[in-house]
Structure 1
Amino acid sequence: MTAYKHGLVLGKFYPPHAGHHHLVRTARERCERLTVLVCASSAESVPLTDRVAWMRAVHPDVDVVGAVDDIPVDTTDPAVWDAHMAVFLAAVPQPVDAVFTSEAYGEELGRRFGADAVCVDPDRTAFPVSGTAVRADPVGHWDYLERPVRAALARRVVVLGAESTGTTTMARALAEHYRRRGGVWERTQCVPEYGREYSERKLAALRERRPDADWADVAFTTREFPLIARRQCHDEDAAAGAGSPVLFCDTDAFATTVWHERYLGGPNTDVARIAATARGRQHLWLLTDHAGVPFEDDGLRDGEHLRPWMTARFREELTRTGRTFVTLGGPHEKRLAAAVAAVDALLAEGWGFTDPLPEKR
């Protein structure tokens, strides 16, 4: 088997799937050095930067570069080939001695690079999947996606609300509801509220010094809230990559902005910035109303009198920032039914992939 000094794999990776990764890994085994060129057109809805980042995350031992290629695809037209090659060579100017593809155009691509054309699994027998199939049905092809792509595509649903309004109960119930659907949904996850874990540790540390201390003796500083928000985002991303097409989050960085107001009386710009960054990966917020829910003091709560204010602040900020949200009220069964209906509607919207440029072969 020929070993090559510098190999090339080229594709849209829109989005990357198991077939793409099989191609890259096969090429890497046969090359001292491998470059993966990600080509994206302006018509496509997944940014080039995301695709490059995904491929780098999955293949840290290869060089991944990107290029915008808005030239129509026509493998029968030499002039179109020339235009594409100008894009390819600008992105990969180093000599290439092997081009690895699973496509019929591989021979011509190799000839134009002055390199061997190596065809890998052209009939897709190893992984019967394509980018077109994934875009049409991400759920049905979820198992062909690696963690970075799953994390990006998972529909993220945040449950938030004032103290003792059932946010944790609702987030867990939703995750269990979707797990019961079976198949890929069995991996549905619920991200716990990191702020609560942080608070438990903070109270425990205080009690080591003062055994009689209770929650009223715990004081927060503004610098702690960005730490909580960042960890919440980290846990959310990790769970999204490991889970199903939907992820449930018991609070989020956005909710932390309101919790900062509750404890310190005003906004925190760092937390707001973290929440704004996370927003692009989140899709639906479920606000648990305090009305009709008894207040239960579990040792980390002291704000029964603040619940109406907090519910109002959550609603105001959700509205002001243009987030899509549903308020859950009534008994738990009614709330769960309303939440499931909202999540099902979100999933029914699909992922909104735009079509790539049409190809003429």
Structure 2
Amino acid sequence: MRRYRHGLVLGKFYPPHAGHHHLVSTAADRCDLLTVLVCAATVESVPLADRVAWLREVHQDPAIRVVGTVDDIPMDVRDPAIWDAHMAVFRAAVPEPVDAVFTSESYGAELGRRFGADAVCVDPARSLFPVSGTAVRADPAAHWDFLRPPVRAALTRRIVVLGAESTGTTTLARDLADHYRARGGVWGRTRWVPEYGREYSERKLARLRRERPGAGWSDVAFGSEEFPVIARRQAERETEAARLSSPVLFCDTDAFATTVWHERYLGTPSPAVQEIADRTRRQCLWLLTDHTDVPFEDDGLRDGEELRPWMTGRFAAELARTGRRTVRVTGPRDRRLATAVAAVDELLGEGWDFAAPLVVPGGHAPTTVPDLTERR
């Protein structure tokens, strides 16, 4: 089997999936250096930088170089002028000589000819990984097992349960995860993310009690600088869980909720926490647990029963002000779960919001190969 000095794989990777990774790994095994060229159009809804980062994480071999370029030229493999325009983009991104082009597509021979390189076809029947970028965009959940952790983290539908003290956020987050796990299949990996602020508070109280035995929660004081730490770690844990979860993840609070907790303890908003909440915003739905009809239980880390109506109001106001999709849950535990499940199912039923790839001039999809850079 011939070995090459410099090989090339190019594609949209919109998004990357197992077929892409097999193509890259196969090509890398036969090349001293492999360049993976990610070609993204500006109309597409997954940023070029994300696709490059995802591929670099999966393919960390130093002999694999992942680069990206913007290619806003619609493809029609029947048009030589369009081919020429694409090749100008490809050559600008990869100016070095190419010895072999690896593809699984019918256009591979022409692509190799234009690069002056061998055209190597890899699994053209898609027998090893029966998946395509088009199929993933149409229904990510149905193709979840073909996606690697960084892509899953980006696509997971993240649902936040938030509310005032002792309003059942943890109970609802756990119940929702149990409910979706029971559906089996890919949903059997559904996870929920505990509240990091509670863990932080438990440690803070434990440290105080080592210094002052008998100290209680009312003796604990928070500084503004602690809340960005809590918000940042909450967001990190959420992303860590999303990499391993099913297409849905339940979060007992989030960085946004920490903005209101900062107000509750210090009386003012925190720009630092707000910045974290804005920067890490990937959540899709917020479930606000109402305080009414839920008895207050002092578990040793609570002292704000009288503040619950205010906090519920602040959460509702800030959720509305920031345009977050919100459902308020009330009533007993079973009714809250039913309301939440209905809201989550509605969200999942809407599918994922991928922008359509470019079409050929005139607004029609090509009749042969859907897109030069569409791998699987």
Q: What's the counterpart of residue 174 of structure 2?
A: 172
How many matched pairs? 360
The yes-or-no answer on 1:333 pairing with 2:337 is: no
Identity %: 73
Alignment of 1:1-361 (within 5 A): 1-61=1-61, 62-279=64-281, 281-357=282-358, 358-361=365-368
Quote how far apart the aligned CAs of 1:57 are: 1.6
Q: Deviations over 1:66-115 (max 9, x none)?
A: 11112121112211111100000111111111111111111111111111
The code of the aligned residue for 2:366 comes to: E
The code of the aligned residue for 1:50 comes to: D
Quote how far apart the aligned CAs of 1:42 are: 2.6
- Write the distance in 1 (CA, Å) between the matches of 2:341 and 2:13: 33
Q: Determine if contact 1:287/1:326 at 8 Å carries over to the other structure.
A: yes
Q: Determine if contact 1:75/1:360 at 8 Å carries over to the other structure.
A: no
Q: What's the counterpart of residue 374 of structure 2?
A: none
- Write the distance in 1 (CA, Å) between the matches of 2:236 and 2:345: 25
SS in 1 for 2:120: strand
Quote how far apart the aligned CAs of 1:359 are: 3.1
SS in 2 for 1:319: helix
- Write the distance in 1 (CA, Å) between the matches of 2:214 and 2:117: 76
Q: Determine if contact 1:73/1:360 at 8 Å carries over to the other structure.
A: no
The code of the aligned residue for 1:291 comes to: T
- Write the distance in 2 (CA, Å) between the matches of 1:71 and 1:346: 33
The code of the aligned residue for 1:189 comes to: R
SS in 1 for 2:313: helix
Quote how far apart the aligned CAs of 1:360 are: 4.3
- Write the distance in 2 (CA, Å) between the matches of 1:344 and 1:200: 34
- Write the distance in 2 (CA, Å) between the matches of 1:101 and 1:321: 45
SS in 2 for 1:38: strand
- Write the distance in 1 (CA, Å) between the matches of 2:2 and 2:300: 68
- Write the distance in 2 (CA, Å) between the matches of 1:208 and 1:68: 58
SS in 2 for 1:338: helix
- Write the distance in 2 (CA, Å) between the matches of 1:222 and 1:31: 54
SS in 2 for 1:122: coil
SS in 1 for 2:283: coil
The code of the aligned residue for 1:236 comes to: E
Q: Determine if contact 1:72/1:359 at 8 Å carries over to the other structure.
A: no
SS in 1 for 2:243: helix
Quote how far apart the aligned CAs of 1:349 are: 0.8
SS in 1 for 2:158: strand
Quote how far apart the aligned CAs of 1:240 are: 0.7
Q: Determine if contact 1:192/1:250 at 8 Å carries over to the other structure.
A: yes
The alignment yields a C-alpha RMSD, in angstroms, of 1.0
Q: Deviations over 1:286-314 (max 9, x none)?
A: 00000110000111111111111100100
TM-score by length of 1: 0.98
- Write the distance in 1 (CA, Å) between the matches of 2:184 and 2:366: 37
- Write the distance in 1 (CA, Å) between the matches of 2:31 and 2:181: 42
- Write the distance in 1 (CA, Å) between the matches of 2:28 and 2:194: 39
The code of the aligned residue for 1:143 comes to: D
The code of the aligned residue for 1:288 comes to: T
The code of the aligned residue for 2:311 comes to: M
The code of the aligned residue for 2:343 comes to: A
SS in 1 for 2:280: helix
Quote how far apart the aligned CAs of 1:204 are: 0.9
SS in 2 for 1:107: helix
Quote how far apart the aligned CAs of 1:352 are: 1.9
